[in-house]
Amino acid sequence: MQRIESPAVQKARERLQALSADDEAQRLAFVRERALRDEVTEKAEARAEGKIEGQANTLRRQLQIKFGELPGALEQRLQTASEAELAAWAERVLFAEGLEQVFSG
């Protein structure tokens, strides 16, 4: 192993070794790392939920423009739909002559 000449680097290495040997410092580092990972996951999930909500809102608006107010049951389906369902319905609304053609199939 190469000898480190810089006093600042030596000091940093010694500090790192001391922290690595400290069980409490290791535990805190683990907790911080897990919290950061959880935060990233939560943000990704929130973005995905927001995307689906936006797709549902756009489709709702298209349906209302084309067919008028939606029955409560269809509002509920829009709120609980998957991204794939929303995509399929968004395509069908272009050619449908009635709500049943959008949501059937």
- What does the pLDDT read at residue 2? 67
Q: 2-22: buried (b, 16+ CB within 10 Å) or exposed (e) per residue? A: eeeeeeeeeeeeeeeeeeeee
The answer to whether position 2 is within a domain reads no
Residue 75 has pLDDT above 90, yes or no: yes
The answer to whether position 1 is within a domain reads no
The answer to whether position 70 is within a domain reads yes
The answer to whether position 79 is within a domain reads yes
Domain range for residue 57?
7-103
Interval 50-55 mean pLDDT: 92
Kindly report the pTM of this predicted structure: 0.63
Q: 60-74: buried (b, 16+ CB within 10 Å) or exposed (e) per residue? A: beebeeeeeeeeeeb
Interval 22-40 mean pLDDT: 82
Number of structural domains in the chain: 1
